[in-house]
Amino acid sequence: MRRGYKFYCSQCGWDREIARAALVSFTRQSLFVAALGLIVAVVVGIENPSERWAAGAILLAFSGLPLFYVASARLQLRKLNRLSVQPPPQQTIRVALSDATPSPANDSKAMTFREKEFPELAMIPRPRKLKTTWKGRGYWVFALAVVGLYTIYGVPATWSKFRSPHSWNGNDFMLFVPAAMVYGYFLAFLRNRFRERQLLAHGALATGYVTAQYNGPYTQSINYRFRRGDGAIITGRSNDASRSLFEGMTVPVFYDAQDPRRSVPLDASMTTIADL
């Protein structure tokens, strides 16, 4: 187990009960963090009645994200409870992607797996119609709420301190650190969403293989690799918004044919294809 999430097999049921226990433990930890954030926000609100915005910002920062992932963990628990144990498949894509040296035989085999794995995606014409996942909508709401609250309350407070008459020193520039963090995060968020939508709408399709998974209490990322059209093996790393990918899984990858380093696994994206 790595920080709350445990690998399990959705086909044979391996480690399913342990994964369920890990999700329950992670839910309790997140609720504890959310409760601490609520207590701190209440104390700040009582001690500084004229600065209720600060209490609201603390509540959002320390309780909003934990509660969001509590909902995510409960969804994963529901999926675990609905799993039906089936015999494991006889073939996997590991053979097609394990050899990094391209050859005609390997290319043919990789194409065979690509056609078997995701034929419904290969048939969708470009540009593909897209829609935002429900988790993506949650991230959008959270990002807009943080930026909105800081713009309404944080910017005027910072500007007021900036305009106040006093002798400036080096520490005064720390006033701009929160603004740089908030707006920097939001700009990076916008860039990533625009990039993944471009790749999903216009990118070439390949079958990817998850080679590693890294779990944290609030983020999850994966390493993956895929074979592009000319047989070259491309490796990549991506945040996994779905928190459902683990080492050994196959996943459709959309990439820029001109620059294959720009790629995104479909299941790791906050955007999905509307025709599926």
- pLDDT, one tens digit per residue, over 197-225 is 999 999 999 989 888 888 766 677 889 99
pLDDT higher than threshold 60 for residue 42: yes
pLDDT higher than threshold 80 for residue 55: no
Mean pLDDT of the chain: 75
pLDDT higher than threshold 90 for residue 35: no
Q: Which pLDDT value is given to residue 227?
A: 87
* 38-52, 166-180, 181-195, 261-275: least confident range: 166-180
Query: Which residue, 99, 112, 88, 94, is CA-closest to 208?
Result: 94
Q: Residue 103 in 3-state DSSP?
A: coil
Locate 11 and state its tokens.
């086909």
Answering whether pTM is above 0.75, one says: no
- Please provide residue 132's backbone torsions phi and psi, each rounded to the nearest 5 degrees: -85, 135
pLDDT higher than threshold 80 for residue 264: yes
pLDDT higher than threshold 80 for residue 110: no
DSSP 8-state assignment for residue 212: E
Mean pLDDT across 229-246:
84
Q: Which residues contact 160 (CB under 8 A, 6 or more apart)?
A: none
pLDDT band of 105, cuts 50, 70, 90: very low
Q: Residue 268 in 3-state DSSP?
A: helix
- Matching residue, tokens 């065979």: 112
